[in-house]
Amino acid sequence: MVIGTVSAALGVAGSVLIGNLLPDPQELRQPLAHSLASDDRQLKTSMGALFGSNYIPGNSVETLVNGNQIFPSMLRAIREAQQTISFETYIYWRGNVANEFADALSAKAREGLSVKVLLDWVGSIPMDQALITRMHEAGVQVVRFRPVSWYTVDRLNNRTHRKLLIADGRLGFTGGVGIGDEWDGDARSPSEWRDNHYRIEGPAAAELQAAFAEHWLEATGELLLGNRYFPELVPQGENAAQIVVSSPHQRNVMHLTLMTALASAGRSIRIATPYFVPDEMTRAQLLEARRRGVQVEILIPGSQTDARIVRKASRHFWGELLEAGVKISEYQPTFYHCKLVIVDDIWTSIGSTNIDDRALRLNDEANVNFFDRGVAASQVEIFNKDLAASRPYTLADWQRRTANEKFSDWLASLTRSQI
């Protein structure tokens, strides 16, 4: 009787654990048809209605390339803030960069500003506890998001991967960078990672603040209201931006957004991502694009990577893509951490989302989308520069893998929902 009860309890616990490790089921049952082209105004209208905010006009967007540009711009925004600082990140580690951010945030809290820092519990595990203590003592509100305990097992696998910094509710940053020395520098060596981050000023900053406020409410029970957090915003530029966030209430929105964009492609798809482990639907959507003559280029890390298991799991799925003419290139100088999708030189998506199950259907993410040829042209230029520092990976390379490599790639692919 006791053994049976224990077995039943273990079975229930195992089912709960497995259920929470797997991504939510996909809504789509087959690839989307190429019914709306990328330059069709109805596509912009539909995506604005279906996924996140509508396209908000009046924004300026600045691309910050590598830590040499990213960190000074973010720190300047912190130091020049007058009322509030909202900061959410997946990675906050240790070292010079981590110390510099802790000092800047602490200084503003001592000035009397509202300084709120939200750290993913998993991503910030390597963080030096002394940094949190220092910020707390200065008056910074530092909160760990979804800490793991017995009563949060149902949320164990749902993390915030958003990377948001908002100053005074007016100026926002998002992209791929984490707070760590690995991102410092200018991608000149393997110790200086390659990444993009984006500075956004204008009415869309309110949507970034809202994304932060959603998670702050969940973590603390405090609802952010009023002019300090949501001031009246006036146009600052010519770019219309759509803010898309995934959350427990809309877990698959990133996946649906990507599939819709890929289905609209008529000429080209460019994808830059540090973690490319495409699910069956993503692969099918890319193959459909190739069948209608779309050029598909995918730029990923080479041997310089922080997760070799991801590279192996990814490689397992490349065969049918390479056979169809998808071009895959591996960045050589250092670890490549950029996250970028460009369709037909008109639609661009930037932010925190990778091309894998975890990002598309498990994590809470935040992306900014543009239907803007100027924005797309600037990102294509950066993409092509990175492509020039990359090595093409061919079908012959894939076929030449040893038996051991093929087996280990397959084995790694079984873990794809968790990497």
Instruction: Kindly indicate the confidence band of residue 252, based on its pLDDT and cuts at 50, 70 and 90.
Output: confident
CA–CA distance from 118 to each of 87, 218, 227, 317, 406 (Å)?
A: 6, 11, 21, 35, 41
Average per-residue pLDDT for the chain: 91
Distance CA 144, CA 121 (A): 5
Question: To 5 degrees, how large is the angle CA 341–CA 97–CA 385?
Answer: 30
Catalytic residue check, 168: yes
Query: Which tops the pLDDT comparison, 53 or 109?
Result: 109
Please give the C-alpha separations between residue 256 and each of 208, 298, 336, in angstroms, as whole numbers.
20, 19, 25
CA distances from residue 76 to 97, 101, 109, 167, 217 in whole angstroms, order as listed: 14, 11, 15, 10, 27
Of 215, 211, 207, the C-alpha closest to 233 is 207
Q: What is the pTM of this model?
A: 0.91
Residue pair 28/256 in contact (Cβ under 8 Å)? The answer is yes
pLDDT computed for residue 19 by the predictor: 45
Active site residue 339: yes
161 is catalytic: yes
pLDDT at 401: 95
CA proximity to 90, closest of 289, 366, 371: 366
- For this structure, is 116 an active site residue? no
Residue at 368: amino acid letter: V
For the segment 346-372, the average pLDDT, to the nearest whole number, is 93
For residue 114, the 8-state DSSP code is E
Q: Is 337 a catalytic residue?
A: yes
111 pLDDT above the threshold of 90: yes
Establish whether 306 is a catalytic residue. no
The answer to whether residues 232 and 95 touch, using CB atoms and an 8 Å cutoff, is: no
Q: What's residue 9's pLDDT?
A: 37
Q: Is the pLDDT of residue 8 over 50?
A: no
Q: Residue 35 and residue 194: Cα distance in Å, rounded?
A: 36
Catalytic residue among 168, 356, 386, 409: 168
Q: Which among 44, 108, 116, 163 is annotated as catalytic?
A: 163
